Amino acid sequence: MSEFLEVSRLSKRYTSKRGLFGAARSMYAVNDVSFRMTKGRVVGVVGESGCGKSTLARLILRLIEPSSGAVRFDGLDLLKQRPREMRRLRARMQMVFQDPYSAIDPRYTVADAVMEPFQIQGVRLSSAARSDMISGLLTMVGLNPQTASSYPHQLSGGQKQRIGIARALALKPALLVLDEPTASLDVSIQAQIVGLLERLQEEMGLTYLFISHDLALVKYFCDEVLVMYLGRVVEALPNTDAPARHPYTRTLLDSTFQPDPKLRRRIQPLAGEVPSPFDLGPGCAFAARCPRASERCRVETPLLAASGGGHAVACHHPD
């Protein structure tokens, strides 16, 4: 069986000019990212803000055109699809967005919003089937079917995110990319949304690419984890119990909050800041902040290398 989703050497480079005569600078938002996803699994992508998580999500769905690399979805090379084919293919790969507040057109009722996917993909429904579908979708995401006639401004953030999920799942996609779906919600609502996503994944056999900066949530929710730092994948964990080997992953794990004071451990805070992503030189991007950095780290970029059991790490001095 071919891989469900295969991302190979995907990069997105942005160039910008400072002023009229300034020298052009460039940065890689996503740099040489490769990974595979198996059907039915939940893969998490973690990293600080600005590390390229969201760009990666949009590159995979071809909402942004990559600078180089390839994305294969169910055996199809996405970047070779023509606009018309791509539009049809989008029905099978959907996304839930970070900001539920602006994810629905303010002029659309809930019913219009959840029916729009069918309208766009040219699925015609009788009016009876339509109202069945609306209440079916709203019930599926835990909303009262009576909200169908509401406008977005009458709904809470959590309700809007549920509608975002209903819209994404309306066409029964195989892949769902979740771009920080809980980041702008209250903690109590976050738990509800995560519970809903878990239930839907089991019921519909969905494959999730779950993007988050919340490591605890990713550990709870995902089967595999990719850790990103400044556009690169620095470590791929085959399961959430695998011990972290990259120094960056270790500091990330250290930074998660441990509610039980007896379990609190000594934390080594990271020195320095994330370097400017513009015109990164050779060497490991993390070298300036890494306690283990050696001369080699500053001149030679470490590549992601498999270290057995599906684990891969990009470090010259892994644990």
Tell me which residues touch another protein (CB under 8 A).
Answer: 61, 63, 86-91, 94-95, 97-99, 102-107, 116-117, 120-121, 164, 167, 171
User: Of how many residues is the chain composed?
Assistant: 319
Query: Token pair of 17, please?
Result: 């000019």
CA distance 291 to 268: 10
Shortest CB 90 distance to another protein, Å = 4
Q: Are strands 305-306 and 24-37 parallel, antiparallel or unpaired?
A: unpaired
Nearer to another protein, 167 or 245 (CB): 167
Residue type for position 186: D
Nearer to another protein, 155 or 227 (CB): 155
Beta bridge partners of 8: 70
9 φ/ψ sector (left φ>0, alpha ψ -120 to 50, else beta): left
Nearer to another protein, 117 or 283 (CB): 117
Query: Token pair of 220, please?
Result: 């709870």
Nearer to another protein, 166 or 297 (CB): 166
Q: Are strands 207-212 and 175-179 parallel, antiparallel or unpaired?
A: parallel
Query: Token pair of 121, please?
Result: 């993909």
Query: Token pair of 65, please?
Result: 């055109």
Nearer to another protein, 98 or 249 (CB): 98
* Residues 97/179, Cβ–Cβ less than 8 Å: yes
Shortest CB 202 distance to another protein, Å = 24
Shortest CB 230 distance to another protein, Å = 24
Shortest CB 114 distance to another protein, Å = 11
Nearer to another protein, 134 or 314 (CB): 134
Which parts of 97-223 are beta strand (E)?
175-179, 207-212
* Residues 312/235, Cβ–Cβ less than 8 Å: yes
Shortest CB 106 distance to another protein, Å = 7
Nearer to another protein, 58 or 316 (CB): 58
DSSP state of 3: -
Shortest CB 116 distance to another protein, Å = 7
Nearer to another protein, 103 or 304 (CB): 103
* Residues 283/299, Cβ–Cβ less than 8 Å: yes
Query: Token pair of 87, please?
Result: 């539009």
Shortest CB 253 distance to another protein, Å = 31
Shortest CB 275 distance to another protein, Å = 28
CA distance 264 to 100: 34
DSSP state of 300: S
